[in-house]
């Protein structure tokens, strides 16, 4: 539910990083924040527990410049990944314009990825949105891990993307590998979906 201000020629769009707990959603935002520090005027907001787990969300406003004559501001959010925080996770999805699903590449997280994606589909449907229609990008995170078995990309594609058929990126939020391409992809998909509003 992007807001288009015809008077100031400004667009605000909401992009949410979704996925299982400890999958690297907050790390994605932290990398973006450090990478684009000079372009992000405000502080990153994190509502987290004492154990450093996301309790409600992280928030990062990101000014991406002019698109089609509009000054575009994307608001990046993460959701808490832990299963027990479903009520707050649902609240963060309200008014979402684009989603990055951050999956964990570790073999032992395989089931959690699938459950979290299913949870996304359910939560979107409470806002009458279809996971097949919303701008969506998959990120297979933690490809940098060396000491634990990782799922082959083909298996992750089969598990998560066989029906969705959306763009996907193997990535590492910690090293920054493919974090920016993931972001660029979801921004362009989101803006494309807003095109008929921005005529």
The residues binding another protein (CB under 8 A) are: 1-7, 12, 14, 42-43, 45, 56-57, 59, 61, 73, 75, 77, 87-88, 91-92, 94-97, 125, 127-130, 132-135, 193-194, 196-197
Residue nearer to another protein on the CB measure, 131 or 150:
131
Say if CB 183 and CB 75 are below 8 A apart: no
- Report the nearest approach of another protein to the CB of residue 130 (Å): 4
- Report the nearest approach of another protein to the CB of residue 165 (Å): 15
Residue nearer to another protein on the CB measure, 132 or 175:
132
- Report the nearest approach of another protein to the CB of residue 197 (Å): 5
Residue nearer to another protein on the CB measure, 43 or 108:
43
Residue nearer to another protein on the CB measure, 66 or 111:
66
Residue nearer to another protein on the CB measure, 94 or 184:
94
- Report the nearest approach of another protein to the CB of residue 48 (Å): 14
- Report the nearest approach of another protein to the CB of residue 136 (Å): 11
CA distance 86 to 79: 9
């Amino acid at each position: 539910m992007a807001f288009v201000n015809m008077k100031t020629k400004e667009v605000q769009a909401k992009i949410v990083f979704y996925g299982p707990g400890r999958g690297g959603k907050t790390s994605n935002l932290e990398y973006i924040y450090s990478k684009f520090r000079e372009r992000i005027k405000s502080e990153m907001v994190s509502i987290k527990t004492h154990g450093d787990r996301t309790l409600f969300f992280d928030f990062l406003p990101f000014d991406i410049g002019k698109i089609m004559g509009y000054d575009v501001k994307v608001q990046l959010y993460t959701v808490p990944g832990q299963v027990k925080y479903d009520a707050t996770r649902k609240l963060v999805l309200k008014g979402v314009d684009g989603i990055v699903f951050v999956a964990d590449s570790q073999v032992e997280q395989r089931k959690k990825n699938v459950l979290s994606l299913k949870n996304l589909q359910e939560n979107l449907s409470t806002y009458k949105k279809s996971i097949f229609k919303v701008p969506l990008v998959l990120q297979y995170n933690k490809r940098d891990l060396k000491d634990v078995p990782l799922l082959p990309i083909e298996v992750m594609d089969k598990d998560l993307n066989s029906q969705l058929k959306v763009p996907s990126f193997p990535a590492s939020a910690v090293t920054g590998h493919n974090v920016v391409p993931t972001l660029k992809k979801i921004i362009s998909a989101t803006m494309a979906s807003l095109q008929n509003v921005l005529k």
